[in-house]
């Protein structure tokens, strides 16, 4: 093989070159030769061989870029330049970002930052008051606070410069305990922990919270609440009911009228610091709450107190299970008193059962007090008049062999229709009433309100029990004539007498006089509905007949000196054969009726007769009501019907 010599402008001498010489001869180099001889599979295709000029020079052509040279990183000037450029770029980014934030999103960013420091609290609406007819508070609300703690924030709190150091839960407890009147150790245990929200104390007074706030203890916060109080304790507790811990009416009027008493809550948005405390002078936005309306009842507070005191005393004196007193304005239907024995204090409802008023929820057989309906029906239908004579035996048997007898044995009596009512004779009432058609008997019971709710503004009112006349059996159709086989509430029974006293006009009884709006505007209740049940003449006649019951009849203990009284005693067996309901319901003054009052006792032990146990209480309470209302004594003498005949 012939090799070309070094490129020196002269032709080389041709000779056989030793192998070793070929490895040291200057030229393309052994690596280039090996590359030329290497298999194509191991090498990417390269440029085709180029012919050389004579003398070994390559032909002229464009020069390539040559080999890439790396910068000298060790050059301090170059390194400084690169650093300067990087800083300028970073500053430019910051500048652009700053311009964007301040120029385009400045307000939004500020709002976002503020929002992180804002808290929202609810502003409770003041609950409306409940007052009696004269504006005396029966239920009202007072400002209170619920004290809470953020235990994590409190753990880092300390009083700067204090010696010894006052800090954390134990230090806070030492400051708070004398204000709250709580044991410091027990309070400290409540304050320690990891909770972000824990109730420390409820019912905190405004002056207590002001003192606590001035301490500036981080993590100690308060929520404004209200507490419902009943200034007169047990007075009308059966009507008022109570409010639960969430401020919602739970029973009685508080529950029934809750929507109007509640009002509309407001809100306050405020800026707070690290410890959750409001920043003085910081951002604040408030939407005021709207107080609830206040309700004025028809109840007379003093008369309600008298009725409650009287019925409690008589229940105790007679060993009765319970008792109620109802007083109604006969002309307007306003409830002046609605008293249950054993009324509890709504300030502390857990001590008793506030289940409403038994005067509207509990039913009983009215007994002889319902005989006035039979008398009215007999007069209206022309069956008899006040002087119609009857020979009344102790025991009377009807055509269908149903026997009825009076409360005590006696010889046959010559009684007028008025006398039958005055002596409260069951036998005589059946003799008289059997001439009234069965459906008519039912119709008058229904007209006077039996079997239907009165519509009084209290929850859980019972309609009583009045079966249709075609469901009466052979005995019931006579028993209804003297108040058995039917059941009523105390309010329904009292309403019958109020209707008779109001010249036969039945006025719906009601408990609400009106509402006072938050702006002080008073709106009276809509006038109560009224219905003419019996004619004025019949009503006035029955009133005169009822005066005979008090003037020499079974209700003589109901008399009130200086006033004419009309009324009726009642004694009825309960569903339990051993149970008795004793009652007296009357109207005063009989010559100018203003008030109907009922006294009803359940299972008295000293006597079963209403004239003995209920009539004296009527005299006491009705007499008090006359004085309370300033009603003048009767100015006329009663012209009574004869009760007997010869």
pLDDT one-digit tens code per residue, 132-167:
999 999 999 999 999 999 999 999 999 888 878 899
Per-residue pLDDT band at 58 (split at 50, 70, 90): very low
Token couple for 447? 């007209």
Q: What is the largest CA-CA distance in the chain?
A: 188
CA 604 to chain centre: 37
C-alpha span between 303 and 615 (Å, rounded)? 17
Q: Are 388 and 416 in contact (CB under 8 A)?
A: yes
C-alpha span between 490 and 512 (Å, rounded)? 19
The count of C-alpha atoms lying within 13 angstroms of the C-alpha of 544, restricted to the half-sphere facing its C-beta, is 17
Per-residue pLDDT band at 218 (split at 50, 70, 90): very high
C-alpha span between 304 and 238 (Å, rounded)? 11
Between the two ends of the chain, the Cα-to-Cα distance in Å is: 180
Q: Of 408, 454, 456, 402, whose CA–CA distance to 430 is shortest?
A: 402
* pLDDT at residue 66 greater than cutoff 70: no
**pLDDT per residue as tens digits for the range 489-515:** 999 999 999 999 999 999 999 999 999
At residue 318, the pLDDT reads: 98
At residue 80, the pLDDT reads: 86
Q: Which sign, positive or negative, has the C-alpha torsion 415, 416, 420, 425? A: positive
Per-residue pLDDT band at 82 (split at 50, 70, 90): confident
Counting every residue written for the chain, the total comes to 646
Cβ neighbors of 485 (< 8 A, separation 6 or more) are: 365, 467, 472, 475, 476, 479
The residue whose two tokens read 């008519």 is 440
**pLDDT per residue as tens digits for the range 346-375:** 998 875 555 689 999 999 999 999 999 999
Strands 220-229 and 198-204: unpaired
At residue 274, the pLDDT reads: 64
92 or 432, which is more confident?
A: 432
At residue 246, the pLDDT reads: 84
- DSSP reduced 3-state for 358: helix
* pLDDT at residue 257 greater than cutoff 70: yes
Backbone angles phi, psi at 114, to 5 degrees: -65, -40
Which class for 518: exposed (0-12), middle (13-18), buried (19 or more C-beta within 10 A)? middle
Q: What is the DSSP letter of 160?
A: T
97 or 328, which is more confident?
A: 328
At residue 114, the pLDDT reads: 62
Q: Of 459, 444, 274, whose CA–CA distance to 374 is shortest?
A: 444
Q: Are 442 and 499 in contact (CB under 8 A)?
A: no
Q: Which residue in the list 293, 294, 320, 368 is annotated as catalytic? A: 368
Backbone angles phi, psi at 338, to 5 degrees: -145, 90
The count of C-alpha atoms lying within 13 angstroms of the C-alpha of 503, restricted to the half-sphere facing its C-beta, is 6
104 or 334, which is more confident?
A: 334
Q: Are 413 and 644 in contact (CB under 8 A)?
A: yes
At residue 70, the pLDDT reads: 52
Active site residue 368: yes
**pLDDT per residue as tens digits for the range 520-556:** 999 999 988 899 999 999 999 999 999 999 999 999 9
* Beta carbons within 10 angstroms of residue 152's beta carbon: 12
Q: Which sign, positive or negative, has the C-alpha torsion 416, 422, 423, 426? A: positive
Cβ neighbors of 14 (< 8 A, separation 6 or more) are: 2
What's the chain's average pLDDT? 87
Give the whole-number percent of the chain exceeding pLDDT 70. Answer: 84
Which class for 516: exposed (0-12), middle (13-18), buried (19 or more C-beta within 10 A)? middle
C-alpha span between 56 and 72 (Å, rounded)? 36
Q: Of 343, 396, 390, 373, whose CA–CA distance to 570 is shortest?
A: 373
Q: Are 131 and 294 in contact (CB under 8 A)?
A: yes
Mean pLDDT is highest, among 27-31, 76-80, 286-290, for 286-290
Q: Are 278 and 112 in contact (CB under 8 A)?
A: no
At residue 35, the pLDDT reads: 42
**pLDDT per residue as tens digits for the range 598-629:** 999 999 999 999 999 999 999 999 999 999 99
**pLDDT per residue as tens digits for the range 1-32:** 343 444 444 444 343 444 343 344 444 444 44
* pLDDT at residue 637 greater than cutoff 50: yes
* pLDDT at residue 42 greater than cutoff 90: no
DSSP secondary structure letters along 507-541: E--B-EEEEE-TTS-EEEPPPPPEEE-S-HHHHHH
pTM over 0.75? The answer is: yes
At residue 83, the pLDDT reads: 86
510 or 44, which is more confident?
A: 510
107 or 639, which is more confident?
A: 639
Query: Domains in the chain, please, with CATH?
Result: 120-156+168-297 (3.90.1310.10), 301-344+357-514+527-629 (3.40.710.10)
C-alpha span between 434 and 481 (Å, rounded)? 8
Token couple for 19? 């192998």
**pLDDT per residue as tens digits for the range 387-404:** 999 999 999 999 999 999
E-strand stretches of 205-309: 220-229, 266-271, 284-287, 294-297
């Amino acid at each position: 093989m012939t090799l070309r010599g070094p490129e020196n402008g002269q032709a080389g001498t041709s000779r056989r070159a030793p192998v070793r010489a070929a490895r040291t001869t200057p030229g393309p180099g052994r690596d280039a030769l090996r590359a030329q001889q290497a298999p194509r599979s191991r090498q990417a295709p390269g440029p085709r061989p180029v012919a050389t000029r004579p003398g070994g020079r390559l032909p002229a052509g464009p020069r390539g870029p040559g080999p890439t040279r790396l910068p000298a990183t060790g050059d301090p000037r170059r390194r400084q330049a690169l650093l300067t450029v990087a800083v300028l770029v970073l500053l430019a980014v910051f500048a652009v970002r700053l311009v964007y934030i301040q120029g385009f999103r400045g307000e939004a960013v500020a709002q976002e930052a503020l929002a992180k420091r804002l808290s929202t609290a609810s502003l409770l609406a003041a609950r409306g008051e409940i007052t009696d007819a004269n504006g005396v508070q029966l239920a009202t609300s007072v400002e209170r606070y619920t004290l809470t703690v953020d235990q994590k924030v409190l753990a880092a709190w300390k009083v700067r410069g204090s010696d010894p150091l006052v800090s954390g839960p134990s230090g806070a407890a030492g400051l708070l305990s004398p204000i709250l009147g709580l044991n410091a150790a027990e309070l400290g245990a409540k304050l320690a922990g990891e909770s972000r929200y824990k109730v420390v104390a409820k019912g905190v007074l405004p002056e207590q919270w002001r003192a606590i706030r001035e301490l500036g203890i981080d993590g100690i916060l308060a929520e404004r609440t209200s507490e419902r109080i009943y200034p007169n304790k047990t007075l009308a507790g059966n009507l008022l009911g109570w409010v639960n811990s969430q401020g919602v009416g739970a029973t009685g009027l508080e529950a029934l009228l809750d929507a109007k008493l509640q009002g509309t809550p407001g809100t306050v948005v405020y800026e707070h610091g690290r410890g959750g405390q409001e920043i003085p002078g910081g951002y604040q936005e408030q939407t005021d709450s709207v107080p609830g309306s206040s309700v004025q009842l028809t109840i007379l507070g003093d008369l309600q107190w008298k009725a409650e005191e009287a019925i409690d005393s008589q229940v105790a004196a007679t060993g009765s299970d319970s008792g109620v007193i109802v007083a109604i304005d006969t002309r307007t239907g306003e409830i002046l008193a609605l008293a249950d024995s054993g009324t509890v204090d709504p300030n502390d409802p857990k001590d008793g059962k506030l289940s409403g008023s038994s005067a509207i929820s509990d039913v009983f057989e009215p007994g002889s007090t319902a005989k006035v309906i039979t008398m009215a029906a007999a007069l209206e239908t022309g069956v008899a008049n006040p002087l119609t004579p009857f020979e009344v035996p102790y025991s009377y048997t009807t055509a269908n062999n149903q026997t009825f007898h009076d409360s005590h044995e006696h010889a046959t009596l010559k009684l007028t229709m008025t006398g039958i009512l005055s002596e409260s004779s069951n036998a005589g009432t059946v003799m008289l009433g059997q001439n009234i058609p069965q459906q008519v008997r039912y119709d008058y019971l229904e007209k006077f309100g039996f079997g239907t709710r009165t519509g009084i503004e209290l929850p859980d009112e019972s309609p009583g029990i009045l079966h249709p006349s075609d469901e009466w059996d052979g005995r019931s159709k006579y028993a209804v004539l003297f108040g058995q086989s039917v059941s009523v509430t105390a309010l329904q029974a009292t309403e019958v007498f109020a209707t008779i006293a109001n010249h036969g006009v039945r006025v719906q009884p009601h408990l609400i006089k009106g509402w006072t709006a938050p702006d002080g505007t008073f709106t009276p209740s809509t006038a109560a509905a009224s219905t003419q049940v019996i004619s004025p003449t019949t009503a006035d006649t029955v009133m005169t007949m009822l005066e005979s019951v008090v003037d020499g009849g079974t209700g003589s203990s109901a008399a009130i000196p200086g006033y004419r009284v009309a009324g009726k005693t009642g004694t009825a067996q309960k569903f339990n054969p051993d149970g008795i309901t004793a009652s007296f319901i009357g109207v005063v003054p009989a010559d100018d009726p203003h008030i109907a009052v009922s006294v009803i006792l359940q299972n008295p032990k000293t006597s079963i007769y209403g004239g003995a146990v209920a009539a004296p209480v009527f005299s006491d309470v009705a007499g008090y009501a006359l004085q309370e209302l300033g009603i003048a004594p009767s100015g006329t003498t009663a012209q009574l019907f004869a009760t007997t005949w010869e």
